[in-house]
Structure formats: C-alpha cells, structure tokens
C-alpha cells in the first residue's frame, strides 16, 4: 500500500507549469506559428475537386456510338436497396435484341451504394465522378435516359478501375 | 458652455460613436480572419476584396432579420438590455485621449470629447461596472434558464475581477500620481512607459480585462457548449447585433485604456522625447497625426492579442475561475499595490 503514489493534477505539474504564464506563452507561440502555415481551404466554386476512379458519384448509363449498352435485364432495378431504378424493356433489331425503352433513376432515393454497377452483366451502368447534384423540385430529381446517358470516352477511368479491382 | 462648444462636442460624439461602431464591426471580421488563420483556413473572402465588406453584409443581414421576443420574456427589460450594453460601451470612449492636443492660433484644441476629466480612469471603471447591467438584464429578462445562467455567471465574474482590475490600476496611479488619462500619457512621454515599471500590473490588468470583457478563457457567460449562447440566446436581429457589437466595443475600450495607461498612449518612441527627435513642436498637426497613429497601432495590437488568446486557450471551469479571481489575482494585485507603494515612497 505504501508504494501507491497519488498522481493528482496538482502534484504532476511543476511550479512553472502551475503559474500558467509560461505555458500560456508556449500555447500562444504555437498558434502564432500556425497562422503562417499553408492553408487547407479549397476555394470551391473556382477550384473543384476531381475525384479518383474509385469515387462513386452519380450512376450513369454507358453510351456507345450506336446507343446504350444496356440490355434492360432489370438486375439493377432488382438489386437497388433504395428502389430508385425503374426499367421498362422493349425489343430492338440490333444484335442485343433488347433495350430499355425507359430507364429512370430517382436521384432523391439513390444512396450511391454502387450495387447496380456491381450487378450489371454488361458494364452498362457505372458510377461517375459527378458529385454536384442540384435540382429545384422532386420531379427534376428523377433522371431519365437523356440525363443518364454518358459517352463511353468520359467513363474510361471508372471502367478501367472496375476491370482492375472487381 | 457656449452653443459653439456644444455643437463641437456633439459633432465629435457623432463621429466617435460611428467610428467606434465601424471599428467594432471590423473587429468581428478580424476575429474571424485570425481564427481562420490559426486553424489553417482562409476565413471570409467572398464579400469584397479579402472579405473586407463582410462586416457591412453582416450588419445589413442583422437589420433585415426578424426581431423575435419570447412570449414569456419581460419585454421592457429585454429591449433595455442591449441599449445599456452598447450605451455603456460607447460612453467609455468619451474619456480616452486618442491624440495629443492641437494648437491653432495659440489655443489648444483636443480631439478628445472630455479632454481633461480629472477622474478619467475612475470614470472608465464606473462605466464598465454599469456594463454588467446590460448582460445581467439580458439574462434575467429572456426568461430562459440558459440566459439566466449566463447573466448570473457574468455578474459574478465581473464583480470578482473588477476588484483586481481596480487594484492593478492603483499601481500605475501611485507612480504617475494622477487619475487624468491625458496627464498619464504626458507623464509617460516625459519619463518612461509604465509597462516597464509595472510589467506585473500590466499582466494583471490584461487578465482581468479578459474576464471583464467576457473573452476566452473567461467566456463563461457565453460558453456555447453548456449554455447555448448564454445571455444572448433569446436575442435576434439587431438587438443581438448590439449586444455583439458592445462586446467588441468593450474589447476595444480595454485595449485603448491599456495603451493609454501602460504603453504610453500617443508617445511613439519610448524613453525619448518624440517632438525633440522629430523636430516639430509638440502641438503641431504632424505630431497629432503621429500620436494618433501610434495610439491606434498600440490599441489594435492589443485587440489582436485578445483575439489571439481566445483562439489559443480553452475555457476555465467555473470554480477555477472563482479560485483564480479571489485566491490568486486579488492577493497578487494587493501585493503589487503594497510593493509599488513602497517603491514610490523610497525612490521619489
């Protein structure tokens, strides 16, 4: 029992620490040094952040020269945990035989989980780098094919990322 | 007092009040900028170059806000509190001598409102004590427990620290032998800045001034994490703005008083006779300008120290605050008075 030393705050501090003033001066010195260090702020609207390929932004449909890759299998709609995707299939004369007549993603419901991209057998729906999503009404939040289709050239980085890591 | 004199004083008062309020508004910007720099950020920079018009944007915003008064609040006192707060804060500036007197055609004019008030520093202490009423009434009349707590803490804190502040001032009063702020500065420009004779008193005054103006590390009346906004929780619109400006006006007033009492006021070069070195008569327009710049430089340097301290130190606990005030600062201030008294007795 005799060996137990109490280490209350008052006993651990030395005399100079208990006067406060030298310690306060040290603290002030630290903050003064910080004032002249480089700033971390990004000037957002002028200086935008460009995400890496691994970033899961707005889901988009891959568009090739002759239209979308999507074959309207409906797996994405099926797997979507937020029930954000609605697909209506129709037939086409092309080799793939089916295409989505209507493809809508409700961006108010989307949770950017990326399951649609993961489940897609055709690599037809991928997550883009687009993170600036603004709309003025609930109706505007439902993105149809005209907003979802993005040329494949713009999505190369994401497609390469998927091939390497998935 | 003739009509001309009255008009001159009123014009002076108008200019002074407006300048002071603009300065207080800019101190809010300075506070935000310094806080940002210390935290490795940039701070407001959208309104005007380097965010210089942010203060005006803030004031316009405050004017356009709805003025909400809680249904259960005591309306009269709720309205009175910000008026007292800002009124008292502004009144202190009437005593502060910003510039040396100016000689025109053999008559001495001074740009201070009450140039030779013989109880200058006592008037300042009296006015700052009245300032407690603003905060305490704001807390009491809001009918909100957090506001009440803030008001109570503020009054307890101000009463505790006022003693030490008064005693810290006694030290310099003993040495200079006057209560008049103009004579204080004259004494310092002829002899030596009082900070060199009373460094300890200066630190005491600085600490108590931090407590008097409710600044960190003594900002218990506001204490955001515990008391929401403290005494101004239930204030909105320009009433809140007035309480906020009064706080900054108090900081500026404290800085000006420290500059006048300890840092030689308008005396630009310590230890030496400015007018003799620069070769101008002491009451010429040039010396007035130099003196004015010197005074304001000192005052705003001290304002920067206030802001700097706020963003460096954490807040005291309430019992620590009271311990520091009564058990440490008060005895130290008393010891300072005794030692200074002995020094004055033996060396003069």
Q: Domain containing A137: what range?
A: 59-165
Residue A64 resides in a domain: yes
Least confident of A99-103, B132-136, B281-285, B292-296: B281-285
Report the pLDDT value the prediction gives residue A81, as an integer from 0 to 100: 92
Read off the pLDDT band of B324 (50, 70, 90): confident
Q: Is the pLDDT of residue A10 over 60?
A: no
Nearest-by-CA chain A residue for B329: A19
Rounded to the nearest angstrom, the minimum Cα separation between A45 and chain B is 11
Residues 6 or more apart whose CB falls under 8 angstroms from that of B220 comprise B150, B153, B154, B157, B214, B230, B315, B316, B318, B321
Residue B60 resides in a domain: no
Give pLDDT tens digits for A64-85. 888 888 888 889 999 999 999 9
Candidates A9, A25, A37, A39: best to mutate against B (most CBs of B within 10 A) is: A39
* Domain CATH number, residue A71: 3.30.70.3270
Give pLDDT tens digits for B63-114. 898 888 888 888 888 888 888 888 888 888 888 887 777 777 666 666 667 7
Residue B58 resides in a domain: no
Put simply, whether A43 touches B (Cβ < 8 Å) is yes
Residue B186 resides in a domain: yes
Residue B292 resides in a domain: yes
Contacts of A41 in chain B (CB under 8 A): 41-42
Residue B238 resides in a domain: yes
Residue B149 resides in a domain: yes
Q: Domain containing B209: what range?
A: 66-347
Q: Round to whole Å and give the CA distance between A49 and B26.
A: 32
Residue B135 resides in a domain: yes
Q: How many domains does chain A have?
A: 1
B307 phi and psi angles, rounded to 5 deg: -65, -45
Query: Chain B residues contacting A, CB < 8 Å?
Result: 34, 37-42, 203, 308-309, 311-313
**β-bridge partners, A103:** A87
Residue B10 resides in a domain: no
Residue A4 resides in a domain: no
Candidates B30, B32, B40: best to mutate against A (most CBs of A within 10 A) is: B40
Q: How many domains does chain B have?
A: 1
Report the pLDDT value the prediction gives residue B273, as an integer from 0 to 100: 66
Average pLDDT over residues A99-109: 90
Give pLDDT tens digits for B229-267. 778 888 888 888 888 888 888 898 889 888 888 888 777
ipTM for the predicted complex comes to: 0.74
The share of chain B scoring above pLDDT 90, in percent, equals 2
Of residues A79, A86, A89, A95, the one with CA closest to residue A143: A86
Residue A133 resides in a domain: yes
Beta-carbon contacts below 8 Å between A and B: 33
- Listed in sequence order, the DSSP H helices in chain B are 3-38, 54-64, 75-91, 120-141, 145-176, 181-190, 194-197, 199-212, 224-227, 237-261, 274-278, 285-310, 318-323, 330-347
Answer yes or no: do A35 and B309 touch at CB < 8 A: no
């Amino acid at each position: 029992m005799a060996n137990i030393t109490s280490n209350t705050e008052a006993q651990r501090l030395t005399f100079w620490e208990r006067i406060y003033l030298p310690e306060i001066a040290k603290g002030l010195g630290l903050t003064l040094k910080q004032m002249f260090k480089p700033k971390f702020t990004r000037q957002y609207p002028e200086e935008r952040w460009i995400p890496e390929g691994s970033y899961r932004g707005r889901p988009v449909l891959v568009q090739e020269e002759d239209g979308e890759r999507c074959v309207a299998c409906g797996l994405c709609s099926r797997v979507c945990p937020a029930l954000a995707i609605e697909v209506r299939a129709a037939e086409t004369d092309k080799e793939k035989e089916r295409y989505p007549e209507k493809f809508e993603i409700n961006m108010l419901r989307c949770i950017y989980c990326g399951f649609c991209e993961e489940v897609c057998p055709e690599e037809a729906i991928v997550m883009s780098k687009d993170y600036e999503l603004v709309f003025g009404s609930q109706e505007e939040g439902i993105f149809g094919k005209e907003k979802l289709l993005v040329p494949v050239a713009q999505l190369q980085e994401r497609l390469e990322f998927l091939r390497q890591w998935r | 007092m003739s009509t001309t004199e009255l008009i001159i004083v009123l014009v002076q008062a108008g200019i002074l009040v407006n300048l002071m309020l603009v300065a207080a508004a800019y101190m809010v910007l300075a506070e935000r900028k310094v806080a940002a720099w210390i935290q490795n950020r940039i701070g407001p920079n959208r309104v005007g170059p380097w965010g210089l018009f942010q203060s005006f944007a803030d004031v316009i915003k405050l004017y356009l806000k709805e003025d909400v008064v809680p249904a259960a609040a005591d309306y009269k006192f709720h309205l009175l509190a910000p008026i007292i707060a800002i009124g008292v804060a502004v009144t202190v500036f009437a005593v502060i001598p910003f510039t040396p007197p100016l000689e025109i055609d053999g008559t001495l004019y001074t740009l201070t409102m009450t140039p030779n008030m013989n109880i200058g520093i006592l008037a300042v202490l009296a006015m700052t004590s009245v300032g407690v009423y603003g905060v305490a009434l704001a807390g009491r009349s809001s009918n909100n427990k957090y506001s009440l707590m803030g008001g109570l803490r503020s009054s307890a804190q101000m009463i505790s620290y006022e003693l030490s502040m008064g005693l810290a001032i006694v030290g310099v009063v003993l040495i200079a032998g006057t209560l008049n702020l103009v004579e204080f500065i004259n004494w310092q420009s002829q002899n030596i800045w009082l900070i060199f004779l009373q460094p300890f008193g200066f630190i005491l005054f600085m600490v108590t001034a931090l407590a008097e103006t409710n600044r960190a590390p003594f900002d218990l009346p506001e204490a955001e994490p515990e008391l929401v906004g403290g005494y101004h929780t239930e204030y909105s619109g320009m009433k809140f703005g007035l309480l906020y400006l009064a706080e900054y006006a108090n900081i500026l007033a404290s800085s000006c008083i420290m500059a006048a009492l300890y840092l030689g006021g308008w005396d630009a070069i310590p230890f030496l006779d400015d007018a003799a070195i620069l070769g101008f008569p002491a009451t010429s327009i040039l010396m007035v300008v130099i003196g004015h710049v010197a005074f304001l430089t000192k005052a705003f340097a001290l304002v920067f120290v206030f802001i700097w301290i706020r963003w460096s130190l954490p807040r005291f606990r309430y019992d620590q605050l009271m311990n520091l005030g009564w058990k440490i600062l008060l005895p130290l201030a008393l010891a300072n008075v005794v030692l200074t008294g002995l020094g004055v007795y033996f060396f003069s």
